[in-house]
């Protein structure tokens, strides 16, 4: 099982680069199947590049650093 604290710790490492562009990320949930739900905030929220940020940034880094993470999805609005 993936520890929510492990995911949160990695998000803290990612957060400064998102904040540099006026955005942020908030951890919503970590499911037993390894799916991490996050909410992009600030400038990231409506950005057309947000899906790429999730897939190529947040998801890639979480998969590298937290064993068991299978996917990162945006929170339903």
Strand 35-42 relative to strand 23-30: parallel, antiparallel, unpaired?
A: antiparallel
Total domains present in the chain: 1
Say what the pLDDT of residue 48 is: 83
pTM, to two decimals: 0.91
CA distances from 63 to 21, 44, 55, 77 (A): 23, 21, 10, 24
* C-alpha distance across the termini of the chain, in Å: 27
Domain, as residue range, for 29: 4-74
pLDDT in tens for each of the 77 residues of the chain?
899 999 999 999 999 989 998 999 999 999 999 999 999 999 888 788 888 888 888 999 999 999 999 999 999 86
- The CATH number for 59's domain is 3.30.300.130
């Amino acid at each position: 099982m993936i520890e929510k604290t492990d995911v949160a710790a990695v998000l803290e490492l990612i957060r400064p680069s998102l904040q540099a562009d006026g955005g942020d990320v908030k951890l919503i949930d970590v499911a037993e199947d390894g799916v991490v739900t996050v909410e992009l905030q600030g400038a990231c929220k409506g950005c057309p590049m947000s899906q790429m940020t999730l897939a190529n940034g947040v998801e890639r880094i979480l998969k590298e650093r937290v064993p068991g993470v299978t996917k990162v999805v945006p929170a339903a609005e």
